[in-house]
Amino acid sequence: MLKSGFIKNFTILAGVLSDFLYRVSQGICPAMAFKDSGAVMHSSGAHRILKRFRDRQAHIRTLLTRINDPPDLTDHDPVMQTIIHLRTVFKGCMVSQFQQYFQVSFL
């Protein structure tokens, strides 16, 4: 059983990553979004995590469509679409709930 509160091979909690992604979707720059989420990390770490999410977002969206069709969006950025799709499917900590539901690592 996958522990949904943790991200495999990362030192951040699922809740921090969920907050980070939410703040990025609000237009906050990645370094500031990570700092506002309560994580202590260099700004390059925030960009690396966002890149990892960007690389994995197609897989995440594929799994999400098993539960719910993608919402109609005007935003053409795939990263923002994925975050919005996650938020429409999972109402609480989207990262933790994603991992618990699918039993796969988010990143």
Average confidence (pLDDT) over 90-100: 92
- Residue-averaged pLDDT of the chain: 84
Question: What are the residue ranges of helices labelled H in the chain?
Answer: 14-25, 30-36, 43-64, 78-89, 94-102
- Closest C-alpha among 41, 36, 4 to residue 23: 36
> pLDDT at residue 2 above 60?
no
Please give the structure tokens belonging to residue 61: 């969206």
Predicted confidence at residue 55, as pLDDT, reads 95
Domain spans of the chain?
14-102
pTM score: 0.81
Q: Is the pLDDT of residue 7 over 80?
A: no
Residue 45 burial class via C-beta count within 10 angstroms: exposed 0-12, middle 13-18, buried 19 and up: middle
pLDDT category, 16, cuts 50, 70, 90? Answer: confident
Evaluate if residue 56 carries a pLDDT over 80. Answer: yes
Per-residue pLDDT tens over the stretch 78-90:
888 999 999 999 9
